[in-house]
Amino acid sequence: MAEEDTDRPSEGHPVLTGVVALVAVALTVGLILGGGALAVSRVLGIGGSDEATSGSTVQETMFLPPVEPTNPDSEPLLTLAPNPEGSVSQFPSDEPSEEEPESSISLQAGQTEVGAMERIDLTGVYPGGEGAILQVQQFENGTWGDFPVTATVSNETFTTYIQTGKPGPNRFRVVDTDDDEISNEVKVTIG
């Protein structure tokens, strides 16, 4: 009977045989995929090669200009004032306007011409006016009157919008409700 047991193949460890087979298949697949990835990276030039570093005369460089100190301007460069031709100037004027007194509140209109009841965006800068409430005013019948819109200053800037149906040229400004500081005026044609 002992001779019969030695002639049969070993069936005592089928789980171990399966695990060994899985490890062998995983290693084979890993080697094939790794070799393929290496071949593709060499063809595409990914990862560099010894030839590129030793035989090449081209070197990658990064040029940084020298650091130069800048002088802060006395007024913000955010202001876009309309010029006489109706287009918006990209640079603030160094000369104060004869029409408008110097103000610490700077107001801009996003549009110079709109249709009746179309949106007019008002934005501006108010240095030192953090938290201030600004009342929008409109010039009518020779006097400035409150428009039913306000804006709050946050990070020294403010933004709001208005709508009006009054045709023709309209003038707007903002006033600080606490200390009566007045902005420059902006002109928008409604029509």
* Residue 43: per-residue pLDDT: 83
Give residue 39's pLDDT.
87
Does residue 81 form part of some domain?
no
Paired residues of 151 in beta bridges = 134
pLDDT at 132 over 50: yes
Q: Are 111 and 186 in the same domain?
A: yes
Q: What is the pLDDT of residue 89?
A: 47
Strand order in the sheet with 168-176: 113-114, 186-190, 168-176, 133-140, 143-152
Q: Which residue has the higher pLDDT, 73 or 106?
A: 106
Classify the phi-psi angles of 48: left when phi > 0, otherwise alpha if psi is within -120 to 50, otherwise beta. Answer: left
89, part of any domain? no
Q: Which domain holds residue 184?
A: 106-190
Estimate to the nearest angstrom the gap between the alpha carbon of 83 and the chain centroid. Answer: 28
Select the more confidently predicted residue: 56 or 68. Answer: 68
- 188 contacts 120 by C-beta, under 8 angstroms: yes
For the chain, how many structural domains are there in total?
Answer: 2
- Position 73 in a domain: no
